[in-house]
Amino acid sequence: MPTSLLEKLRSVDTPTVCNAIEVAQGQRGFNRFTRGTMHHCKPGMPAMVGRARTARIAGLAPPTEDDATIKARRLAYFRAMARGPGPSVAVIEDLDYPHCIAGWWGEVHVAVHKGLGMAGALTNGVMRDLDVIDDGFPILAGSIGPSHGFVHVRELGGEVSIMGMQVAEDDLVHADRHGAVVIPEAVIGDLEAAIDTVFANEAMILEPARAPGFDIDRLEEVWTQFEARRT
């Protein structure tokens, strides 16, 4: 991914990226985004952008495998999170959803994943320790809770489901307080220009609407131009 695109993606919100994908595709109907309201650890942080490192966890009931297997898989999980060039995003499905209790994302794991160079975390599960987690590592989670339960890693890699959005290993993910989106590989080359187009189209309405003297006649004039240009 070009550095210029990465910087631009970090500077815009996820709704803008959704709009830009439709511009790049030339049609509406793109639907690889999360559903429902998620929780952000520190709203207002820049968006997380990166290639997905996927895993599945659970914590509502104790693991049925032996301790050695569980501990080995946890170390394998950290190796999987650390693999490859960045930026990367941890995308972790909690298999107990919607009854998740396992606060996988707390002070310790945030410090570890940030230290491994990851750009953030996306989960349908639980986050905690919100007052003491490190800055600079955004988390978008399905819920907030106090405990880690019987949390353990079940699977590494492969496709996971996060709030109605399917994410495969190495998919390009963009997420902020609004939710998350998987950016199709086919639009990456056109995405910078598409984001600029989104802003230019919106300015056709926003600038007159915020100017003195705006009225319904002016709206009808500019809205016709806007409709002719937008996707």
Q: pLDDT, tens digit, for every residue of 181-200?
A: 999 999 999 999 999 999 99
Question: Six-digit token pair at 195?
Answer: 């984001």
- The percentage of the chain sitting over the pLDDT mark of 70, rounded to a whole number, equals 100
CATH code of the domain occupying 31-183: 3.50.30.40
Question: How far is the CA of 229 from the CAs of 170, 199, 202, in angstroms?
Answer: 33, 12, 10
pLDDT value at residue 231 = 64
Residue 33 phi/psi, 5-degree rounding, is -140, 165
Predicted confidence band of residue 230 (pLDDT cuts 50, 70, 90)? confident
Residues 6 or more apart whose CB falls under 8 angstroms from that of 104 comprise 57, 59, 92, 94, 123, 125, 126, 127, 148, 151
What's the pLDDT tens digit per position in 123-175?
Answer: 999 999 999 999 999 999 999 999 999 999 999 999 999 999 999 999 999 99
Predicted confidence band of residue 176 (pLDDT cuts 50, 70, 90)? very high
Q: Are 180 and 34 in contact (CB under 8 A)?
A: yes
Domain locations in the chain?
31-183, 191-229
Q: Which amino acid is at 78?
A: F
Nearest to 139 by CA among 213, 45, 11: 45
pTM of the model as a whole? 0.94
pLDDT value at residue 16 = 98
How far apart are the C-alpha atoms of 177 and 30, rounded to whole Å?
Answer: 20
pLDDT value at residue 1 = 80
What integer is the mean pLDDT of 5-9? 96
